[in-house]
Structure 1
Amino acid sequence: SFPGGKCDPADQDVVHTALRETQEELGLAVPEEHVWGLLRPVYDPQKATVVPVLAGVGPLDPQSLRPNSEEVDEVFALPLAHLLQTQNQGYTHFCQRGHFRYTLPVFLHGPHRVWGLTAVITEFALQLLAPGTYQPRLAGLSWPGAEGLAHPQQPLVSPCQASSTSGLNKGL
C-alpha cells in the first residue's frame, strides 16, 4: 500500500497529512512543491474516505529509504513503464457469501501483487499520467467511490476531512 493515514489535528490539509505520513513511514521527505495534485477521493468500506495525493520524487532507490518497521514490512518500486505493460496488469473478482460483489485491477511484479485500494489508486494515477497509453482492463469499476479522476479544476489542497494516501511516482 501507499504511505498514508488519518489527519492529525496539526495537519493543515490532506496534502500535509500525506507528506507527514510519507516521512514517518518511509523516512522520505517530499517537499510540498513536488506535489502534483489530488486524485478523486475514493471510499474504502472497511476504513474511510481516502484522498490520494500524487507527488513526483524522481528516480528513487528503495534501498535509500528508512522504513518504519512498526508500519512497513517491505518497500519496492514499480517503474511507470512496468505498470504500463499489459502482461503486468490483471484483475481480481471479489465475492461475498458465494456471490460476486465487484472486480478491481491488479498489478503484478515478480512475487508482489498490487491489489485492492492501492491498485485502484494506481489505475487512477496511470489514467492521468499516461492518457492514451494506459488502457484500463476494466471498462468501469463497479465499486463505491471508484468513479475516476478528479476534475482538473479541483483545487490542489482540500480541507483535512479524510484519510490521505501518497501516490508517490517513483519512476519518472
Structure 2
Amino acid sequence: MTTGADIAALFNEPNAAGIDPAMPAVNGDYVLNPGSRHGGAKRPAAVLVPLVERSGGLTVLLTQRTQHLHAHAGQVAFPGGRVDEGDVDAVDTALRETREEIGVTRDHIRIIGRLDTYETITGFHVVPIVGLVTPPFEVIPDPFEVADVFEVPLAFFMDPRNRKRHSLERGGVVRHWYAFPFGRYYIWGATAGMLVNLTRVLDAGLSLKDTDGEGRMAGPRVADFAAAGTIAAGAG
C-alpha cells in the first residue's frame, strides 16, 4: 500500500514553503482549449490538496461549494482561494483558507510540496499545495461557502479508467475539460485538472509494489466509499 511517507519522498519538503504565488503557470485550462488563455491580469490564488492518511489507505478530501455563490456554485473544489494581503506565501494562503472553509487547522496538516501552478480560464494562477492530513480531525464547514465535505480514495484518481475528457459546445465554441465522476459528485474543471497533474507526478515518481495485479495502486475499495456517501462533518 502506498503511504503518505512514500508520497512525501517525491517532494522536496525544505522547499515546500516560501513559494511565489505569482510564478508563471505551466499548466491550466488552456491546455485542452488552445486559444482560450486569459489575457488580463493574473490573480494569485492557492489551494490545499489534502491527502488524508486513513488506515485503509490515502484519500483526497474535497468540498462542494454552495449553490448560491456567485462563482463556481455547486462545484467540487479543493479548499483554497485568493491570496490575501496578509498571507506570507501560497502555503499560508492554502492553510488559512482550509481553516476558514472546513475548520481543519494547521496542526493536523504536514506540507510536503506543491504541484505545477494551474492557470484557470478566468485568469487565476493557482498554486496547489500538497499536504498530508492526520486524523482524527474535526470538519466544521463554513455554511456560506461549503455545502459538503467528502473524501475519495486516492486509488480512484490513480486508475486511468476513471479519468474522462468531456466537452460542450456553446455559441459555436467547444470547450473541453477533465472530469472524474464519482457517485453523485461530478469533479471537473480546474480541480480535475490539478488531480490529473497529481496522478502524473505519482505515476512518474512512485514504484508501486503493492498493486491489484493490473498495475493500479492498491488502497481502500472505492465501492466502500461510494456506498457510505459523504464523510459527515465533524467525523474526521
TM-score (norm 2): 0.50
For the aligned residue pairs, the C-alpha RMSD in angstroms reads 2.4
1:10 counterpart = 2:86: yes
Identity, % of aligned pairs? 33
Go from structure 1 to structure 2 and tell me whether the alpha carbon gap of 1:82 and 1:58 turns closer, same or farther (over 3 Å shift). Answer: farther
- 1:69 matched to which residue of 2? 143
Whether the 8 Å contact between 2:180 and 2:192 is mirrored in structure 1 is yes
1:42 counterpart = 2:112: no
* Deviation, structure 1 residue 41: 1.1
4+ aligned runs moved over 2 Å, structure 1:
30-33, 58-61, 84-89, 98-101, 129-133
Task: Give 2:171's match in structure 1, choosing from 85, 94, 97.
Answer: 97
- 1:19 matched to which residue of 2? 95
Whether the 8 Å contact between 2:108 and 2:133 is mirrored in structure 1 is no
Go from structure 1 to structure 2 and tell me whether the alpha carbon gap of 1:132 and 1:96 turns closer, same or farther (over 3 Å shift). Answer: farther
Larger displacement relative to structure 2 (27-36 or 70-79): 27-36
Go from structure 1 to structure 2 and tell me whether the alpha carbon gap of 1:33 and 1:26 turns closer, same or farther (over 3 Å shift). Answer: closer
Go from structure 1 to structure 2 and tell me whether the alpha carbon gap of 1:2 and 1:37 turns closer, same or farther (over 3 Å shift). Answer: same
Cα distance in structure 1, aligned partners of 2:174 and 2:136: 39
Secondary structure, in 3 states, of the residue corresponding to 2:194?
helix
Q: Which runs of 5+ in 2 are unaligned?
A: 1-76, 207-236
Task: Give 1:128's match in structure 2, choosing from 190, 201, 205.
Answer: 201
Larger displacement relative to structure 2 (4-13 or 111-120): 4-13
Structure scoring higher RCO (CA < 8 A, sep ≥ 6) equals 1
Cα distance in structure 1, aligned partners of 2:156 and 2:106: 23
Q: Which amino acid aligns with 2:158?
A: L
TM-score (norm 1): 0.67
* Deviation, structure 1 residue 17: 0.3
- 1:116 matched to which residue of 2? 189
Secondary structure, in 3 states, of the residue corresponding to 1:125?
helix
Go from structure 1 to structure 2 and tell me whether the alpha carbon gap of 1:81 and 1:59 turns closer, same or farther (over 3 Å shift). Answer: farther
Go from structure 1 to structure 2 and tell me whether the alpha carbon gap of 1:59 and 1:84 turns closer, same or farther (over 3 Å shift). Answer: farther
Question: How many matched pairs?
Answer: 130
